[in-house]
Structure 1
Amino acid sequence: MEEEHSQDYLFKIVLVGDSAVGKSNLLARFARDEFYASSKSTIGLNFKLKKLVIDGKEIKAQIWDTAGQERFRAVTAAYYRGAVGALVVYDITRRPTFENVSRWLSELNSHSDMNVVTILVGNKTDLKESREVSTEEGKALAELESLFFMETSALESHNVVAAFETVVKEIYDILRRKVLQSQENKKENLSLGNAKTLALEGGKSNTVEEAGRMGNCCAY
């Protein structure tokens, strides 16, 4: 049987936000199409891999959950290191979780070693009768901070896949634009045979595949 050749892109994506906003269930729904009604706060290291195909390319999203550290404000720099995407999650039924979004964005920006594609996610739309944060407020904050925005329900599987795919597709599009720029830049002689090349800071270059693996794709 003919071996199928696929390019292996690996993008690290982090989930951040207050405890009990539904981060772990968003991840479970996206990665395994599961939901845990009585789930407790995540304890210990937790990340999952999910394969997606975008423009015929195989993408591996390595998605990290905060492992309960957010309860103690102990999310470390190592958690963010190498991340090229982020979902900042709040609970639409608990206004304080929305008010804390700015703190999570500040922490993300402080600890990340590159610009991170970020989507603001208002979770638990299935609890409409208990809503404390309007859709308009979420959109306004996202526009103010130049973020993508989406409301989701991990319980009903509403917009969960779309939220993650929005981030992954934008990361890939940035990577693709980097490749096109490097190909058009005739001043930089970075040709590596027939491999596509990507110009990085510091005078280094990597194939597009290596850049995706190393998380350097989005230093734009």
Structure 2
Amino acid sequence: MSGTAANKRKADAKVIILGDYAVGKTCLISRYIDGKFGPHESTIGAAFFLKQWGPYNVAVWDTAGDERYTGLSSFYCRNAGAAILAFDLTTTSSYESLWARFLPLLEHAKEDCLKVVVGTKRDLVDSDSREITVDEAVEFSKEINKDIDLTKLKGEPYFETSAKTGYNVSSVFEYMFSYCLPLDKASQVTEKERSSIQLTDSSAKKSACC
């Protein structure tokens, strides 16, 4: 690979996504990068994507949710500037796993790593199926970011999303990128410039993870 090509692919920021198996992590990324929704193979180890955001390249790492890959996920968290902690809005156990299993992994991320809590499958939620309240999740997201000045960001580090409908998906990534990258240039990014390419994808075995 030539020096010029290598420079083009060098990441200016690193984002990691963590969460239980089948909460919809891969579907969330796919909806944002490809604008598509559908079943995906479950991730083994991690899958790597490079997202071009204006003049910047952002490395997005999708990690396996299976507990046997926890050690690998810890490795992939190194030097992450922002992280998505994803849980299924209809499954309490996936929310509890965020602080029990996944939050400790971010000790290997950057000291000022932004932790964004994301509730997935919003399209499936109604008054009977909701397990976690908005207020509860917002308070959790603020607590785990207590050492970060959130006043510089627009809104709280909590989002409810639907990969199926696309609801709030872009907002999650734009929120993180605005934190990780210089705001003066980031504010100039246009929709046309937000193109993306998938470099590698380490996945195997189909799973209805969306």
Q: TM-score of the superposition, structure 1-length normalised?
A: 0.67
Instruction: Look at both structures and tell me which one has the larger radius of gyration over its CA atoms.
Output: 1
**Equivalence for 1:93:** 90
Cα distance in 2 between the residues matched to 1:116 and 1:174: 16
Task: Tell whether the 8 Å contact from 2:21 to 2:65 is kept in structure 1 after alignment.
Answer: yes
**Equivalence for 2:141:** 142
Cα distance in 1 between the residues matched to 2:69 and 2:173: 26
Runs of 4 or more consecutive aligned structure 1 residues displaced over 6 Å after TM superposition = none
Identify, as 1 or 2, the structure richer in strand.
2
- Counterpart of 1:106, as a letter, is P
**Equivalence for 2:31:** 29
Post-superposition shift, 1:100?
Answer: 1.5
- Counterpart of 1:78, as a letter, is F
- Counterpart of 1:166, as a letter, is Y
- Counterpart of 1:16, as a letter, is L
Pairing 1:149-168 to 2, within 5 Å after superposition:
149-168=158-177
Structure 1's 155 and 14: CA in aligned 2 closer, same or farther, altered over 3 A? same
Please list every run of 5 or more consecutive structure 2 residues that lacks an aligned counterpart in the other structure.
Answer: 1-7, 146-155, 186-210
Q: Identity percentage over the alignment?
A: 31
Of 105, 108, 114, the match for 1:107: 105
1:29-85 Cα shifts (integer Å, max 9, x gaps): 11111212x3332135411111123xxxx1212100114554543334321112111
- Counterpart of 1:12, as a letter, is K
Task: Tell whether the 8 Å contact from 2:14 to 2:81 is kept in structure 1 after alignment.
Answer: yes
Task: Tell whether the 8 Å contact from 1:31 to 1:49 is kept in structure 2 after alignment.
Answer: no
Pairing 1:118-197 to 2, within 5 Å after superposition:
118-129=115-126, 130-146=129-145, 148-173=157-182
**Equivalence for 1:183:** none
Secondary structure of 1:29 counterpart: helix
Secondary structure of 1:89 counterpart: strand
- Counterpart of 1:48, as a letter, is F
Structure 1's 30 and 101: CA in aligned 2 closer, same or farther, altered over 3 A? same
1:74-131 Cα shifts (integer Å, max 9, x gaps): 33432111211111111100001111211312221x2224321221111110001322
Cα distance in 2 between the residues matched to 1:173 and 1:137: 31
TM-align CA RMSD? 2.4
Give the aligned length.
Answer: 164
Of 129-138 and 79-88, the range deviating more from structure 2: 129-138
Cα distance in 2 between the residues matched to 1:135 and 1:170: 22
Cα distance in 2 between the residues matched to 1:71 and 1:20: 15
Task: Tell whether the 8 Å contact from 2:37 to 2:163 is kept in structure 1 after alignment.
Answer: yes
- Counterpart of 1:137, as a letter, is E
The structure, 1 or 2, with the larger RCO (C-alpha pairs under 8 Å, 6+ apart) is 2
Structure 1's 72 and 9: CA in aligned 2 closer, same or farther, altered over 3 A? closer
Q: TM-score of the superposition, structure 2-length normalised?
A: 0.70
